[in-house]
Amino acid sequence: MSKSKGGGTGRGTGKKGWNRWQAGAKRAASKPKPYVSKGLQKKAEEAKTARLAAKAEANNPGSS
């Protein structure tokens, strides 16, 4: 009996298979979620208000 394609120990996976698995996992992890957490909502709201304030200041320099 030959030892090619022996048992699982120390055999690893082919590089192609591992890369394909990693790519699939990364794709699944980065796809858009159907919800937004409260923390991210708050952060986005703060960024939006800061951006609007900066834009208003740029449009009316020295008004305040």
Place of tokens 């008004």: 63
pLDDT at 45 (0 to 100): 94
Six token digits for residue 52: 């609007």
Task: Confirm whether pTM is higher than 0.85.
Answer: no
pLDDT at 50: 93
**Separation in Å, CA 30 to CA 4, 6, 22, 42, 48:** 38, 36, 12, 21, 23
Q: Which of 2, 51, 7 is nearest to 59 (CA)?
A: 51
Task: Compute the distance between CA of residue 45 and CA of residue 33 in angstroms, rounded to an integer.
Answer: 18
Q: What's the pLDDT band for 33 if we cut at 50, 70, 90?
A: confident
